Structure 1
Amino acid sequence: MARLKITQLKSRIGTKQNHRETLRSLGLRKINQSVIKEDRPEIRGMANTVRHLVKVEEVD
């Protein structure tokens, strides 16, 4: 199964509460921190919610 590398590029300061919670549930706490997640619809939806704060790449 494909995997996604999600990297936080911008700060969550000043963002909406649900965006901060989404970043936290993805496991992102700091700028330039990356996490590897399975490519599932739930993860894609969470990454789409905070797409202005993160970069998403496919990895194998």
Structure 2
Amino acid sequence: MATIKIKQVKSKIGYPLDQKRTLQCLGLRKISQVVEVEDSPSVRGMIRKVHHLVTVVE
């Protein structure tokens, strides 16, 4: 399958617990950390949920 790279660009401090857990499920812990995950509908949904905290790196 195809993969996408996700970069955390903003801190999770002050955001709801479900958004913090979504970042954790994506494998993101620190600002500027980049992870490569498989491109699937569930991952796209997680990215959409925390779109204000992450960016998709090409």
Provide the TM-score with structure 2 as the length reference.
Answer: 0.94
Alignment partner, residue 6 of structure 1: 6
Q: Return 5+ residue gaps in structure 2 as ranges.
A: none
Alignment partner, residue 24 of structure 1: 24
Identity of aligned residues (%): 53
Amino acid at match of 2:2: A
Deviation of 1:46 (Å):
0.4
Q: Return 5+ residue gaps in structure 1 as ranges.
A: none
RMSD: 0.9
**Which whole-Å CA distance do the structure 2 matches of 1:25 and 1:3 have between them?**
16
Alignment partner, residue 33 of structure 1: 33
For each residue in 1:32-57, what CA deviation from the matched residue of structure 2 results, as whole angstroms up to 9, or x when unmatched? 00100011001000011000000013
Provide the TM-score with structure 1 as the length reference.
Answer: 0.91
Runs of 4+ that moved beyond 2 A: none
Matched pairs, number: 58
